Amino acid sequence: MNTFVVEMEFPTDFLSIPNVSKPELETRLRELFVIELFRDGRISSGKGAQLLGIPLWNFLQLLSKHRIDYFSQTPEELDAELAALDILHNTTGR
């Protein structure tokens, strides 16, 4: 994957937080940015996992850790989508 560098300045106090090293900070910022892209509907969960270099299941766990719903459909929307799939299945014979 091609990469680019983004430089940001932070107070050195960030590094005095227990158990937060510079690599940890970089990782967390990358995760939070990708999570926000997903939350905004700009990327899929699969793309989020790809951008972070982790399996999809781990990305879904990360969303859960941050209390972000993976499914945004209401029960009624899900029922309608399943009904549409059932109709499609019955008309195509698959």
Spatial distance between the Cα atoms of 78 and 86, rounded to a whole number of angstroms = 12
Q: What is the pTM of this model?
A: 0.69
Instruction: Give domain limits for the chain.
Output: 19-92
Say yes or no to pLDDT of 82 above 90: no
Helix (H) or strand (E) holding 35: helix 22-39
Tokens of 3: 């990469």
Helix (H) or strand (E) holding 62: helix 56-65
Helix (H) or strand (E) holding 82: helix 75-92
Spatial distance between the Cα atoms of 63 and 80, rounded to a whole number of angstroms = 25
pLDDT at position 47 is: 93
Higher pLDDT, 74 or 64: 64
